[in-house]
A and B are shown apart, each in its own frame.
Chain A
Amino acid sequence: MTTVGAAGILLGKELRLEFRSRELLSATIIFALVVVVLFSFAFDPTAAESRRYGPGLLWIAFLFAGSLMLNPSFSREQTNETLDALRMAPISPFAILLGKMLANFIFMSVAELVLVPVFAVLYNISIVGIVWRLVLVLSLGTTGLVVTGTVFSAVSAQARMRELLLPLLLLPILTPLLIAAVESTASLFQEQPSLDRTRVAFLAGFDIVFLTASWLLCDYLLED
Chain B
Amino acid sequence: MPANANSAGFPSSASPLGISFQNVEKRFGALAALRGISLQIEPGEFVALLGHNGAGKTTLLRIAALLMNPSRGSVGFISAAKDGHRDGAAHGPECKPKHAIGMVAHSTLLYDELTAAENLSLFAKLYGLGEIADRVAGALRDCGLESRAGSLVRTFSRGMRQRLAIARALLHDPSILLLDEPAAGLDRQGLVWFSAKLAALKQAGCTIVMSTHARNESLELATRAVALATGSVKQDSGTAGDPRPLLASLRAEA
A167-B35 Cα distance, complex, nearest whole Å: 38
* Known contacts A89-B126, A90-B98, A224-B67; A84 and B114 CB within 8 A of each other: no
Q: Is A198 an interface residue (CB 8 A)?
A: no
Number of interface residues of B (CB under 8 A): 29
Q: Is A17 an interface residue (CB 8 A)?
A: yes
- Kindly identify, within residues 157 to 190 of chain A, every residue whose CB is under 8 Å from any CB belonging to chain B: none
* B208–chain A nearest beta-carbon distance, Å: 17
Number of interface residues of A (CB under 8 A): 23
A224-B110 Cα distance, complex, nearest whole Å: 18
Whether the Cβ atoms of A13 and B128 lie closer than 8 Å is no
Q: Is A16 an interface residue (CB 8 A)?
A: yes
* Known contacts A20-B113, A80-B111; A224 and B68 CB within 8 A of each other: yes
Contact of A82 among B110, B125, B127 (CB under 8 A): B110
Q: Contacts of B112 on A, CB cut-off 8 Å?
A: 79-80
Q: Is A121 an interface residue (CB 8 A)?
A: no
- Kindly identify, within residues 98 to 143 of chain B, every residue whose CB is under 8 Å from any CB belonging to chain A: 98-99, 101, 103, 105-114, 118, 122-123, 125-128
Cβ contacts A1-33/B at 8 Å (1 or 0 each) = 100001001100100110011000000000000
* Known contacts A81-B105, A84-B67, A89-B127; A9 and B122 CB within 8 A of each other: yes
Q: Contacts of B107 on A, CB cut-off 8 Å?
A: 80-81, 84
Whether the Cβ atoms of A16 and B118 lie closer than 8 Å is yes
A13-B68 Cα distance, complex, nearest whole Å: 25
Q: Contacts of A224 on B, CB cut-off 8 Å?
A: 62, 67-68
Q: Is A86 an interface residue (CB 8 A)?
A: yes
Closest to A95 in B: B126
- Kindly identify, within residues 180 to 239 of chain B, every residue whose CB is under 8 Å from any CB belonging to chain A: none
Closest to A85 in B: B109
Q: Is A42 an interface residue (CB 8 A)?
A: no
Q: Contacts of B105 on A, CB cut-off 8 Å?
A: 81, 84
Whether the Cβ atoms of B62 and A82 lie closer than 8 Å is no
Q: Contacts of B122 on A, CB cut-off 8 Å?
A: 9, 13
List residues of A whose CB falls within 8 A of some B CB: 1, 6, 9-10, 13, 16-17, 20-21, 79-82, 84-91, 223-224
List residues of B whose CB falls within 8 A of some A CB: 62, 65-69, 98-99, 101, 103, 105-114, 118, 122-123, 125-128, 152, 168
Closest 4 CB pairs of A and B: A85-B109, A81-B107, A90-B98, A89-B126
